[in-house]
Amino acid sequence: MNLYLVRHGQTAHNRDGVSLGRQDVPLTPLGEQQAAAVASALAPARPVRVYASPLRRAYDTAAAIARGHGLEPIVRSELIELDAGEAEGLTFPELRERFGPFLAEWVGPLGHQAVMPGGESISRLEQRLLPIIPELLDPAAGDAAVVSHNFVLRVLVCRLMGLDAAAFRSVAVDVASISTFLVNGDRVVMDRLNDTCHLNSLNLDRDGRSV
């Protein structure tokens, strides 16, 4: 079976370079174009399941994919983004000014254990994701697309590659990217990671901003 991991299209937070956790912000017009480009790229695929985070930016991206295959997104709370707590909506300089000690821990070697001020840690995110992974990898259920968020997808990629959450910084998952894994029994093979070639016609940089 094939497993497609998709990050949602651009939001205003992504565009403006501020942190985004569980605030339920919509796609920008460009984000909607990106969602359509992802759906077009996956049109030749044959997913029979399309999973989505409950946040609208992920759901709307998933819906664009699902429509092309006569499906409806399957909403799963496990796929919701990292709870950023009080860091929600802050720029990096603002985060450094208000939460310096946390930030020092976050960028360090044990950053996966650092708890967002009033929020969640990467390690906690990993624990809530673990129960859904066997379902996503079930070959009897058929090919699946999963539309979620930056940190969720980083952790999923790590787990699929046999790594734990401590390696989350070693993975890049850009806005509206597609990563594909081939599942054959207990063997999981990464076929492509962070593919954004389908966005080339939109003339974007790595962060999903127009250039």
Distance CA 96, CA 101 (A): 8
- Per the model's pLDDT, the better-predicted residue between 209 and 172 turns out to be 172
Q: What burial letters (b/e) apply to 120-148, b meaning 16+ CB within 10 Å? A: bbbbbbbeebeebeeebbeeeeebbbbbb
Confidence of residue 201 (pLDDT cuts 50, 70, 90): confident
- By CB neighbour count within 10 A (0-12 exposed, 13-18 middle, 19+ buried), where does 105 fall? middle
The whole-model pTM stands at: 0.95
> What ranges do the domains of the chain cover?
2-202
Around Cβ 17, how many Cβ atoms within 10 Å? 10
The answer to whether the CB of 14 falls within 8 A of the CB of 175 is: yes
DSSP 10-25: -BHHHHHT---SS--P
CATH number belonging to domain 2-202:
3.40.50.1240
Q: Tell me the average pLDDT of the chain.
A: 95
- With H, G, I as helix, E, B as strand and everything else as coil, classify residue 207: coil
**Is a pLDDT exceeding 90 seen at residue 211?**
no
pLDDT for the residue 14: 97
**Is a pLDDT exceeding 50 seen at residue 210?**
no
